[in-house]
Amino acid sequence: MSRRIFNFGAGPALLPAPVMARVQEELRDWHGSGMSVMEMSHRGKEYQGIIQQAEQDLRDLLAIPDQYRVLFLQGGASLQFAMVPLNLLAGRTAAYVETGVWSRKASQEARRFGLVEIAASNSDGAAEVPPQEQWRLPRDCAYLHIAGNETIDGIEFDFVPELGDIPLVSDASSHLLSRPLPVERFGLIYAGAQKNVGPAGLTLVIVREDLLGRADPHTPTMLDYAVHAREHSMYNTPATFAIYVAGLVFQWLKDLGGLTAMEKINMAKAERLYGAIDDSGGFYRNSVAPRNRSRMNVPFFLHDAALDPLFLEEAQAAGLLQLKGHRLLGGMRASIYNAMPLEGVETLVAFLRDFAARHG
């Protein structure tokens, strides 16, 4: 019997095994059409059925209200760092809450297009989300941007900000579909697909209709949300195969019982892994405030960084892949997205304990 491999990469990340099996089964001939999805015209009836079903299943999972549009775009979350201010600033001031690497990158990009103020930041080194009562918003705030989960720093919001009439914008790349999300509390949500949704190359945008049509007049056509909404994500050729796989992931989640059921599974995995880190007697360390510990991305450090190469070597030999931390943070990081089974986390926990016993 071959050894079971568990991929803890932060993205592109593993996909659910049933989805991969379905893709393999349908790869050369989708439902008797004689074509692979990769070969279909995006405007043909076969593919129109695929993308429409994917959108409906996503709407069902997130209970997306009718006044929101779902866009299947490209360019990753990094392109959204520019698209958001181009479409929403409208000559006013944007506010950003900086909780880690990605929210800081987003605010830096927004400054290319207009005025930006930092409503709150943990740049003083506190590994937590600043409490909302400490935030300072500009008087003419066009929108407030957050990163709901920081993939590198392992910091996740434990609340949805209350902003009144100010649109809330969230980069949800690494936690979308990991738990229920009150879409109606947001003006716009965007996410790169390669964490919990599907293959790299697809970006999801969920935007309230009243925020469309505000783009700066000099905005390139391809960066205008209103254009993509009007053309039903078909202004140009979309990421057809990635959308097809995402649709299968949506179906898989529905079969599991939806996002409430998925959240329970994710909570169990995270509690098991953080418990092993906290119970290691200091051999392993995670410095994020407990209330803001990410359920998706778990960074941790060995008490002696000199052991890092050996840890990674032995982990790979044990079938535990891509545990090296991001180059900006160092240490280790285990990404335990939806598709990571509890068995994978249990195997990692057993390895952590064994390694600590032998090298502590």
pLDDT bracket for residue 146 (50, 70, 90): very high
Candidate from 59-63, 126-130, 318-322 with smallest mean pLDDT: 126-130
The reported pLDDT for the residue numbered 110 is: 98
Residue 1 has pLDDT above 50, yes or no: no
pLDDT beyond 80 at 263? yes
pLDDT digits (tens, 9 = 90+) for 27-44: 999 999 999 999 999 999
Residue 2 pLDDT class (50, 70, 90 cuts): low
Q: Bridge-partner residues for 298, per DSSP?
A: 334
Q: CB within 8 A of 111, min separation 6: which ones?
A: none
77 marked as binding residue = yes
Is 171 tagged catalytic? yes
- Which pair of structure tokens corresponds to residue 343? 């068995």
Whether pLDDT at 198 is above 60: yes
Query: 316 labelled as ligand-binding?
Result: no
Cα–Cα distance for residue pair 24/230, rounded to 1 Å? 34
How far apart are the C-alpha atoms of 72 and 57, rounded to whole Å? 14
Query: Which one from 171, 224, 252, 269 is the annotated catalytic residue?
Result: 171
CB-hemisphere CA count at 13 Å for 332? 31
Q: What does DSSP assign to residue 65?
A: -
The number of CA neighbours under 13 Å toward the Cβ of 341 is 9
What mean pLDDT value characterizes the chain? 97
Q: Which residues contact 144 (CB under 8 A, 6 or more apart)?
A: 94, 95, 96, 97, 119, 137, 161, 163, 166, 167, 168, 169
Neighbours of 210 (CB within 10 A): 10
pLDDT tens figures, 164-192: 999 999 999 999 999 999 999 999 999 99
Q: What share of the chain is helix, strand, coil (3-state, %, to 5)?
A: 40, 20, 45
Question: In the predicted model, is pLDDT for residue 125 greater than 70?
Answer: yes
Active site includes 269?
Answer: no
Q: Is 43 annotated to bind ligand?
A: yes
Q: Confirm or deny that 221 is annotated as ligand binding.
A: no
Structural domains in the chain plus CATH codes: 18-256 (3.40.640.10), 258-359 (3.90.1150.10)
Residue 194 among known ligand-binding residues: yes
DSSP-based three-state secondary structure for 271 = helix
User: Angle between the 240-256 and 17-26 helix axes, to the nearest 10 degrees?
Assistant: 130
What is the phi/psi pair of residue 276, to 5°? -65, -40
Omega before residue 12 within 30° of 0, cis: yes
pLDDT higher than threshold 90 for residue 8: yes
Is 153 a known active-site residue?
Answer: no
Q: What percent of the chain has pLDDT over 70?
A: 99
- The strand ranges marked E within the chain are 6-7, 68-73, 93-98, 115-121, 141-147, 149-150, 155-156, 168-171, 188-192, 203-208, 284-285, 297-302, 320-321, 332-335
| Interval 325-345: pLDDT, tens | 999 999 999 999 999 999 999
171 is in an annotated binding site: yes
